[in-house]
Structure 1
């Protein structure tokens, strides 16, 4: 393994791009084969973006695993800003998507949302696949170590499936690395649903009563989050509020036709691209000065900017539809490759290792297309029906917005 890291880096970047193209091609084939994709108006090109983000996280963790197995380094952030942004920046944009998609629910006001339906919808959208991934990880650990569930297994399962903590499973110290420690972001999503979303709904209700424009509420959330991040108060409760707020403000921008049209223009696409280049080359994550170009880029995608058609490809929509599965399960695939097949990995020339990324991307798309059809889609449809049965006369956007991501309009 005497090849310079520079050669590996160039190989990694090239095959990262190849993996995106390969995954989109597979997604296109799945769509032509009848894979279900929701119909109707969308939030711009958010669906296409989601797929690219999930695949970027896969490549980010491939880089980290390579340095763990080949170079013997501890599990840590990538040492190149761009590579680190494939993970941290992708998750930041995922948080913006959440803020955008659920802001219409908050706009209805705290008293006009049937909250049980919202939370039932979220539970059945997230928990079943997380539970399935936990069981799969448990099975792999049992096969590796011969361990069996004990009296603490149920408590550990609750910790994992709730995304609260990734504690050792059956005493296996590296349990968290089995899925690349991705559940931390799901915990932040739950904090958003349980605390920030109803708080914003209440704030919008108050703003309406005192005749303040609705955008003042996400601006307040943004300011609070930035101050918390700057001065280090509130721990992780407030840390990611600026990202959720950016999604909400993207909705406000897209709800105004003149702004939306400009954000969807080629000029805006060029400016957004030029802004993202230094953002990902100079900064390790989005909660830095890179926040501004990240937020602007996201607003353009939400407004329907095609960016040359990349995010509107039919295959990209399919990959976006299964992006949660890709994000949640890719770490297990990488763990099996780099742990169980470590002797084989160590014999592959370093510069050739990234050749595996496109193959992994194709494989994870096929796997998660199956888990989407067998687990995700039936579960969220059941949750949607259950929520509607609890209060059938209420028309609520809590679950519908999350699945259909409709384009905002301002009358």
Structure 2
């Protein structure tokens, strides 16, 4: 089907990067952690090279975004940085980085905007809640369903508006009416993403946690006293 990617708002563009990241993790662990497991690292290296050869069009600017996550993982383990991030100075740094990135660049995928967004992310990951704004229940819920919103918004908008010829005929050139319909579609996106989170994501997360707990308990029983 021509332009089928439009149905999901082309959200699948990130899947090769996600595959590459997960494939590379054992090799990265081998090079960074004191516990070295050679066989998983070799398999990881082979898979990483295979993905690089298969897709061939990975953007370095996008790959740089993973550095923000890695920096955050290290930063939150440093008490001094956590104290700074949660202070008013950390708040000002985060706001300055975000404002400069949004106002100064037309896109996110270049070294400087990645740096600005990375600074904002690391400060928030370390506990900056913007005077309690980020800890309010509606905001926390939006965070819980955010991946579902990302994956599902294209399907909802395409179904409600793009593929709905009668509705588009009614809207015509009326911009206020289009904005109203789009806002309604946004509310529907939140409802669908919430339903999927409660019926798919959350049960899967709980299942994974229970399975991990059972495996840990089994390993504990096998260890001699």
1: CA distance between counterparts of 2:173 and 2:136? 34
SS in 2 for 1:236: coil
- 1:349 aligns with 174
User: 1:247 & 1:361 partners in 2: Cα distance?
Assistant: 28
1:342 is displaced (CA, Å) by 4.1
Q: Which has the higher helix share?
A: 2
Contact 2:64 2:111 in 1 (8 A): no
Counterpart pick for 2:188 among 347, 350, 363: 363
Please, what TM-score do these two structures have when normalized by structure 2?
0.76
Change (3 A) 1:324 1:205: same
- Aligned pairs, how many? 198
Contact 1:272 1:300 in 2 (8 A): yes
Contact 1:246 1:295 in 2 (8 A): yes
The ranges of structure 1 where at least 4 consecutive aligned residues each deviate by more than 4 angstroms after the TM superposition are 386-392
Shift of 1:192: 1.0
Measure, in 2, the Cα distance between the counterparts of 1:335 and 1:247.
Answer: 32
Retained in 2: the 8 A contact 1:330–1:364? yes
Contact 1:322–1:369 (CA under 8 A) maintained in structure 2: yes
The aligned runs of 1:125-164 (5 Å cut-off) are: none
Look up the SS of the partner of 2:111 in the other structure. Answer: coil
Q: What is the alpha-carbon distance in structure 1 between the residues aligned to residue 138 and residue 130 of structure 2? A: 16
Is the CA contact (8 Å cut-off) linking 2:149 and 2:190 kept in structure 1? yes
Q: Which residue of 2 aligns with 1:242?
A: 64
Name the residue aligned to 1:340. 163
1:264 correspondence with 2:86: yes
**Structure 2: how far apart are the matches of 1:353 and 1:200?**
48
Q: TM-score, normalised by structure 1?
A: 0.44
1:231 alignment counterpart:
none
Checking the alignment, whether the CA contact within 8 Å between 1:253 and 1:259 is kept in structure 2 is yes
**Residue 391 of structure 1: CA displacement?**
6.2
What SS does the aligned partner of 2:204 have?
helix
Question: What is the CA distance between 1:275 and its match in structure 2?
Answer: 2.5
RCO comparison, higher one (Cα < 8 Å, 6+): 1
Q: Name the structure 1 match of 2:40.
A: none
Cα distance in 2 between the residues matched to 1:280 and 1:309: 23
Alpha-carbon distance in 2 for matches of 1:389, 1:271:
43
Match of 2:149 among 326, 338, 345: 326
Superposed displacement of residue 343, structure 1: 4.5
Change (3 A) 1:354 1:302: same
What corresponds to 1:178 in structure 2?
7
Secondary structure of the structure 2 residue equivalent to 1:307: coil
Task: Report the Cα offset of residue 362 of structure 1.
Answer: 2.1
CA spacing shift, 1:349–1:242, aligned 2, 3 Å: same
Q: CA RMSD in A?
A: 2.6
| Alpha-carbon separation, structure 1, partners of 2:135 and 2:181 | 26
